[in-house]
Amino acid sequence: MDTMCHDGVCAKCWGAKFIVIGAVVLLTAIKWPDYIWHVLGILLILKGVMKLAMPMGCSHCQPEAGMKKGKK
C-alpha cells in the first residue's frame, strides 16, 4: 500500500497541515492569551510532527493482511 491515507492525502501533507495550523493557533494566542489556545496549538504541532515521523501510524492506513485459507 502506498502512503496515501483514506482521504487521498499523503501523510507528509497532513503533518505539514497540522504544524502550520498549530503555529497559526499559537500566533493567535499572543492576541488572546488564554491557556487553552496554547495547549491546542502545541497539541496540533505535536500531532503534525508525529504524522511526519510515523506516516503509517494510523490503523486505517495499515495494509490489510490476506485471509488465510482453511483446509478442506
Note the pLDDT tens digit of each residue in 43-58: 999 999 988 888 665 5
Distance CA 66, CA 26 (A): 44
Give the chain's residues under pLDDT 50.
1
Question: Quick one: cell of 62?
Answer: 495499515
Question: Quick one: cell of 27?
Answer: 500566533
Residue 72 lies inside a defined structural domain of this protein? no
Considering the entire predicted model, what is its pTM? 0.65
Residue 45 lies inside a defined structural domain of this protein? yes
The residue segments making up the domain with residue 21 are 11-56
pLDDT at 59: 58
Structural domain count of the chain: 1
With beta carbons less than 8 A apart as the criterion, state whether 53 and 18 touch. no
Distance CA 52, CA 38 (A): 21
Residue 20 lies inside a defined structural domain of this protein? yes
